[in-house]
Amino acid sequence: MNPSHFSTKAKTMILVLGLFLLLSFVFGWLRYADVKESIQEAQLNYSRQIDNIYQASLNRLSLFYVNRGYANLNSHGIREALEEGNGAELERLSRFRWEVLSQENRYLMQMRFYDTSLMLIASLGDSNLPSKLRITSPLDENPRYGFALFPRSFSYNILIPAYKEGKFLGILEFVVSADYFLKEVEAFSEIRGFIFVRSELFQEERSDLPRSTPFVLFATNQEEPIADEKALAGASLLSKREHEIQGRFFVTHDFGLYSYVKEEVGKLVFFQEVSAAHQKLWGAIYGSFFGALALFLAVIVILHYGFEVLIRRLEESNKLLLQSQTNLQLLNQGLEERVNREIEHRMRQEEESKEKERLLLHQSKLASMGEMIGNIAHQWRQPLTELSAIFIRLEILSEQGTLGHQKLQEGFRECERLVGFMSKTIDDFRGFFVQDKGLELYSINEACKNTLKLLHSALHAHAIEVEIIEEEEIWIKGHPREFAQAILNILGNAKDILLERQVRSPQIKLLIGRRANQAYVRIEDNGGGIELSPVEKIFEPYISTKHAGSGTGIGLYMSKTIIEKNAKGTLSAHNSSVGAVFEIYL
């Protein structure tokens, strides 16, 4: 072999292998960083989910007992007994409500009454709690919430002050075990949780703990804890989030627990096992390393033999030329086969295009169903609120003993009216998705107005004004529900644009008439227009002018397909001085 060939081969191999090692290192590092980032993002989302569950449970529990507390204080004889300091009468009058509440929530520990000196005068439930209320600041008429540590329990307390004509009468307190929140989070996320309290508040109970430990384990909602209490108590919860316990890896999610005076008295700590994520991370590292090593060895072999072949071919140029001629002949012989394969490939592409169009139609229907569900929610929100108000009024009248037969019947009739309205709403939305059986003679005016009726609550809730201009009644033969689907997509797109761009005095105008002896529908909004060039790109699939993540890009595409392919009409769009204009000719 020529020495110059060897020198060129060695230099080229060194350069290529050096670049390969550099790229392998960069690829391995990017792979590691990508896996680690995805794991951290998943953990952050999981922490947000737990926090949402905890905050929702906290707010729901507080609101529930505040309402029940005021209902109890407004019951017959309660405020009078509290003003007189008559504990026996308070217990007698509140016994039934206590029994109902304790059955509803087994974590409810006590229902307690305090006089104006904040001394306990009546108690229902566990009697092992202090008789003096721990409050250092004066109470106003607003309820107060907070966690409190007792010798044998850690609880969430709701304080409801009682006033009568501006005079402070005392306090009604509900005491709920803090284990309630562990169970709530566990029920939704199936994650292990623990309660830790500040060590200075709990030294008498746990004298074996080191003084440097800021938080100590108080309770757990697991029959088989992750580790023994000393191992958990010694875990540095504040300095790091990742822990290795008994050969398993965990990430902690902690949430502060605050007293009446907003002082942190403890933490809810949830241990999420991430052993699988650790294995995945190390698997990515090992996989990248061994993959790069295998490729490195393969590249060495390939380069070595590749250069041998290359040099040999350079020296045998005549053979290469002959081989090229042979390859050309083989290429010509296989040309017919290639053409056949290309035809088959294009036919498959055409079938795939048709299948994609069917999928787009299905996605459009699903998106419309989702929009309809949102509209049902808007339609039902007010009657549901009215039903709740009626039930609360009847309950209060019943507790006060003033619920007569006439008032009860009036409440029933009002409930029947609201339920009838909700049932009619469901019937209207259900009829919208019935499949068209064939060509029907239908009124474009009625189809447009029925579609607007479905969107009425959503448009009204966002103060979007709709103006309908009917030049005449237009009747055509076609598929009314498909036409309504197309109108719904255009109106829904206009509504979303008006909301996204926060347009002042949002408006949608709908004109129905005839142009050039054709049925004509014109829909215009004042949302600023279509920000695409050319404008007709708005009808292409998966093209959306909405904010990323809020639009599918198939609604207007399906509208154009319905109008032009199914109804043999035309659908076009352009911008006016104030917004977008869609015109339909049938």
pLDDT in tens, 95-109: 999 999 989 999 898
Query: Tokens representing 290?
Result: 């061994």
Q: For the domain that residue 500 is a member of, what is the CATH number? A: 3.30.565.10
Question: What pLDDT score was predicted for residue 549?
Answer: 47
Indicate the residue among 432, 460, 485 that finishes a domain.
432
pLDDT in tens, 490-522: 998 888 889 988 888 999 999 999 998 899 999
174 assigned to some structural domain: yes
As a whole number of angstroms, the distance between CA 103 and CA 173 comes to 18
Which range (120-134, 153-167, 190-204) has the least confidence?
A: 190-204
Q: How far apart are CA 187 and CA 42, in angstroms?
A: 20
pLDDT of the residue at 350: 75
N-terminal to C-terminal alpha carbon distance within the chain: 81
What's the CA angle centered on 125, arms 122 and 130, to 5 degrees? 60
Higher per-residue pLDDT: 309 or 180? 180
Are 471 and 580 in the same domain? yes
206 vs 202: CA distance, rounded Å: 6
- Domain end point (choices 406, 432, 458): 432
pLDDT in tens, 134-181: 665 556 788 988 888 776 778 899 999 999 888 889 999 999 988 888
Instruction: Write out the H or E segment, with its range, that includes residue 261.
Output: none
In a domain, 348, yes or no: no
Given this model, what pLDDT does residue 176 score? 92
Whether 463 and 553 share a structural domain: yes
153-164/144-150 β-pairing: antiparallel
Quick check: is 418 in a domain? yes
The whole-chain average pLDDT of the chain stands at 77
Residue written as token pair 């350069």: 15
DSSP letter assigned to residue 435? P
pLDDT digit string (tens) for 457-489? 778 888 899 999 999 999 999 888 888 888 988
- Domain-embedded: residue 349: no
* CB 408 within 8 Å of CB 470: no
pLDDT, position 148: 84
Residue 67 has pLDDT above 90, yes or no: yes
Of 432, 460, 489, the domain-final residue: 432
| CA angle centred on 403, ends 400 and 405, rounded to 5° | 165
Comparison of pLDDT for 471 and 414, the residue scoring more: 471
In angstroms, rounded to a whole number, what is the distance separating the alpha carbons of residues 171 and 160? 6
pLDDT interval class at 342 (50, 70, 90): confident
Q: Is the pLDDT of residue 353 over 70?
A: no
pLDDT value at 193 more than 60: yes
pLDDT of amino acid 427: 65
User: For residue 350, is it within any domain?
Assistant: no
- Please give the pLDDT value at position 354: 66
Q: What is the pLDDT of residues 225-283, one digit of tens each?
A: 444 444 444 444 555 566 666 667 777 778 888 888 788 888 888 777 776 766 666 66
Q: Where are the alpha helices (DSSP H) in 137-195?
A: 179-189
Q: What gap in Å lies between CA 58 and CA 64, rounded to an integer? A: 10
State the total domains in the chain.
4
**pLDDT above 60: residue 203:** no
Q: Which stretches of 126-281 are assigned E, i.e. beta strand?
A: 144-150, 153-164, 167-177, 192-198, 215-220, 242-245, 248-258, 264-273
pLDDT value at position 112?
A: 92
- Quickly count: other Cβ atoms within 10 Å of residue 80's Cβ: 14
Tokens of 349: 């592409």
Same domain, 426 and 455: no
Q: Are residues 168 and 212 in the same domain?
A: no
d(CA 261, CA 258): 8
Please state whether the predicted TM-score (pTM) of the whole model is above 0.95: no
Residue 222 forms part of a structural domain: yes
Strand partners for 75: none
Choice between 306 and 162, residue whose per-residue pLDDT is larger: 162
Report the alpha-carbon distance of residue 124 to residue 75 in Å, rounded.
17
Give dist(CA 360, CA 362) in Å, integer. 5
Percent of the residues in the chain that have a pLDDT greater than 70, as a whole number: 71
What distance lies between CA 566 and its chain's CA centroid?
37
Is the same domain home to 174 and 197?
no
Q: What is the DSSP string of 445-484?
A: HHHHHHHHHHHHHHHHHTT-EEEEEESS--EEEE-HHHHH
Output the CA torsion sign for 386, 388, 394, 396: negative
Beta carbons of 451 and 371 less than 8 angstroms apart: no
Q: How many CB atoms lie within 10 A of CB 165?
A: 5
d(C-alpha 527, C-alpha 581), whole Å: 10
Q: Are 459 and 429 in contact (CB under 8 A)?
A: no
234 burial level (CB within 10 Å; 0-12, 13-18, 19+)? middle
260 membership: H or E segment, kind and range: none
Task: Decide if 460 is inside a domain.
Answer: yes
Is the predicted pLDDT of residue 72 greater than 70, yes or no?
A: yes
Cis-peptide into 506, omega within 30 deg: no
Q: What is the mean pLDDT of residues 382-405?
A: 77
**pLDDT (average), residues 427-453:** 76
pLDDT band, residue 9 (cuts 50/70/90): low
What is the reported pLDDT for 220?
47
pLDDT > 90 fraction of the chain, expressed in percent and rounded:
16
> Does residue 153 form part of some domain?
yes
Q: Which of 139-148, 332-341, 526-535 is the least confident region?
A: 332-341
Q: Return the pLDDT at 559.
A: 85
Residue 7 pLDDT exceeds 90: no
Which range of residues forms the domain containing residue 380?
Answer: 360-432
- Categorize the per-residue pLDDT at 424 as very low, low, confident or very high, splitting at 50, 70 and 90: low
Asked if residues 132 and 120 have their Cβ atoms less than 8 Å apart, the reply is yes
What are 532's two structure tokens?
């695409």
User: Is residue 265 located within the same domain as residue 217?
Assistant: yes
My answer on whether 460 and 528 are in the same domain is yes
Both 455 and 565 in one domain: the answer is: yes
Q: What is the pLDDT of residues 23-59, one digit of tens each?
A: 777 766 776 677 677 767 767 887 788 888 888 888 9
* pLDDT tens per residue across span 541-552: 766 665 544 555
Residues 145 and 201 in one domain: no
Same domain, yes or no, for 467 and 554? yes
> Do 445 and 579 reside in the same domain of the chain?
yes
Of 112-121, 305-314, 545-554, the range with the lowest mean pLDDT is: 545-554
Tell me, yes or no, whether 177 and 211 share the same domain.
Answer: no
Assign 131 to helix, strand or coil: coil
Question: For position 172, which CATH number holds?
Answer: 3.30.450.20
Exposed / middle / buried, residue 190 (Cβ in 10 Å: 0-12, 13-18, 19+): exposed
